[in-house]
Amino acid sequence: MTAVANGLEYAVRMESVAKTYGKGDAAVSALKDVTLGLRRGSFTAIMGPSGSGKSTFLHCAAGLDRPTSGRIMLGDTELTGRRESELTALRRERIGFVFQSYNLLDALTVEQNIVLPLRLGNQRFDPVFLAEVVRSVELDVPLDRRPSKLSGGQQQRVAIARALVTRPEVVFLDEPTGALDTRTARQVLATLRQTVDRWGQTALMVTHDPVAASYADTVVFLADGRIVGELTGANPERIAQRMTHLGEW
């Protein structure tokens, strides 16, 4: 998993990535020599204690933040060194995002929220594909309804549908179930897992929850800005046990 090779088998590659905030005595190293490849069609969870670099990892991998050094590839396209306008276009056209806070616009209907990334990119949407996306995330609500009329789980399904409607190469999820109750969170995670399997979608999820992480193929652990281990096909108990030992690093 952590070996990085050339070619297009990887949706995202990070090579010797470091990120430092501040300068001199005030400098803080959020990431240190991180190398990781996300294979196409894989579902990866990133875990670690507070301050381990999880959010910085996601932001750098998704082109939301620039690394201090190292190289980041989206497929065969290098993100590092590109202008902000180029990164904005790449994120809009090739990357999907799902956040804990949903980030839906209540002035728009459910359907308008889902197709918003296409509208912003001046792209037409296919009603047939839209219907398929809605079915895939098991969103059983009228598409002309406003988000404020939906439950938290329904709103997060709208957010996932919005992330998928552009047919992205990779979807980044930042604590996507953090605002949901346990039962709803598991339903949303099961839906996400089915979507990954059905479409071969590549997904990277930052989470603090071992149950959420157990839905991923592989869990990568961060501590002090470094990758310190990974588990494949692990259950929540094994993931939680591994988390308790991160302090040894």
Encode the chain (249 residues) as per-residue pLDDT tens digits: 433 444 468 999 999 999 999 998 899 999 999 999 999 999 999 999 989 999 999 999 999 999 999 999 999 999 998 999 999 999 988 999 999 899 999 999 999 999 999 998 888 889 999 999 999 999 999 999 999 999 999 999 999 999 999 999 999 999 999 999 999 999 999 999 998 998 899 999 999 999 999 999 999 999 999 999 999 999 999 999 999 987 544
Rounded to 10 degrees, the C-alpha dihedral 14/197/216/58 comes to 30
Q: How far is CA 125 from the centre of its chain?
A: 23
Sheet with 77-78: list strands edge to edge. Answer: 28-39, 10-21, 69-74, 77-78
Signed CA dihedral, 75, 79, 83, 84: sign only: positive
Q: How far is CA 52 from the centre of its chain?
A: 17
Q: Which residues on adjacent β-strands are paired with residue 13?
A: 37, 73
Decide if 100 is inside a domain.
yes
Domain that holds residue 51: 10-21+28-248
DSSP conformation class of 237: H
How far apart, in Å, do the first and last CA atoms of the chain sit? 20
Query: What CATH number corresponds to the domain at position 89?
Result: 3.40.50.300
Decide if 59 is inside a domain.
yes
Decide if 70 is inside a domain.
yes
Decide if 105 is inside a domain.
yes
Nearest to 54, CA basis, from 198, 204, 196:
204
**What's the pTM value of the predicted model, to 2 decimals?**
0.91
Decide if 2 is inside a domain.
no
CB 38 within 8 A of CB 9: no
pLDDT value at position 201?
93
Alpha helices in the chain (DSSP H): 54-61, 84-94, 110-120, 127-136, 152-164, 182-199, 210-213, 236-244
Decide if 3 is inside a domain.
no
Decide if 4 is inside a domain.
no
Number of domains composing the chain? 1
CB 146 within 8 A of CB 106: yes
Decide if 5 is inside a domain.
no
